Amino acid sequence: MNRIVLGAMGVALLAAAAAAQTNYAAVQIKPTALGHRTWMLEGNGGNITVIAGDDAVIMVDTQFAPLHDKIKAAVAELTGKPIRYVVDTHLHGDHTGGNQAFWMDGATIVGQDLLKKSMAEGTTNALSGAKTPPSPASALPTITYADRMSLSVKGRKVELVHMPHAHTRGDTAVWVPDADVLATGDIVSTGGRYPNIDVGDAGGIEGMIKGVDAYLKRADAKTKIVPGHGALMDREGLKTYRQLLVDARDSVKALKAKGMSEDQAVAAKPLAAPMTAGSVQARAGATDRASDNFVRLIYRSVA
Ligand SMILES: [Zn+2]
């Protein structure tokens, strides 16, 4: 089967699954200019970063398949250039859902080796046990890398860096040096909920903190930080987010050290109290369920 037929089959399947839950027709794509022909796009799903060169565009993440037309139109309006490369920060569907549709437009998908392996094999959710089936070949990266690589369009160059054992096992950070922009993927995720973390092959809470430390080391006061979810951040915001992770880790670790089981630790609601302005929960703006899940993820990933 050719590219168009294969791609259309996959897109239709993904669209049907996704459309059951969200009213994508109502979603608006909101661009934020980051200077130097670089933008952050918000819609539904992970934040997108658009880097425009003289001849073509590098786009980081794709949100959900049903949003393809809107995202494509937004990029065309901002840049007037075709999307040559799509970079996946990690495999989760709210970041890679549009892969096939952009591939059908002619984009080349780029990702870390282990992202491709996970997508090709399918994955299992650590909390729910829910299985994500293997992705069709047309949604997989055709350019992969191990540690780092650079990607260019005319007049622009970005650097992809593997962030090992963090949010997933195949996370990519995208640095855009000329615009002083960092796209973090879900190693940094705010937006009114606790971050989720793949346990097992990913790095658990310690891996997330290590990833943030690597970002803090390289970012400066002017760096514009595009998180996986949530509003545009600066280095100060990233430090606050790091503290949130550390506080949550320490609270759960202390309960585990006391000999509590995972369920007991969840029942103790370590992230719910004290409900002050500076508390972890207030800063995350998280729901009870999200904080319960976060406790479980941390519990499983601390020694
Ligand atoms: Zn994710």
Domain locations in the chain as residue ranges: 3-238
Question: Where do runs of H (alpha helix) occur along 30-107?
Answer: 68-79, 93-96, 99-104
Q: At 134, give phi and psi (nearest 5°).
A: -55, 140
Instruction: Check residue 203 and give its pLDDT.
Output: 79
The Å distance, Cα 9 to ligand 1 centre, comes to: 25
The Å distance, Cα 90 to ligand 1 centre, comes to: 7
**pLDDT tens string 104-117:** 999 999 999 999 99
The Å distance, Cα 259 to ligand 1 centre, comes to: 30
Predicted TM-score (pTM) of this structure: 0.89
The Å distance, Cα 132 to ligand 1 centre, comes to: 13
The yes or no reply on domain 3-238 and CATH 1.10.420.10 is no
Sign of CA dihedral 244, 246, 248, 250: negative
The Å distance, Cα 168 to ligand 1 centre, comes to: 8
Q: Angle, nearest 10°, between helix axes 204-218 and 235-257?
A: 160
Instruction: Check residue 37 and give its pLDDT.
Output: 98
The Å distance, Cα 213 to ligand 1 centre, comes to: 18
Instruction: Check residue 292 and give its pLDDT.
Output: 87
Amino acid at 258: K
The residue with tokens 């050719």 is 2
**pLDDT tens string 25-77:** 999 999 999 999 999 999 999 999 999 999 999 999 999 999 999 999 999 99
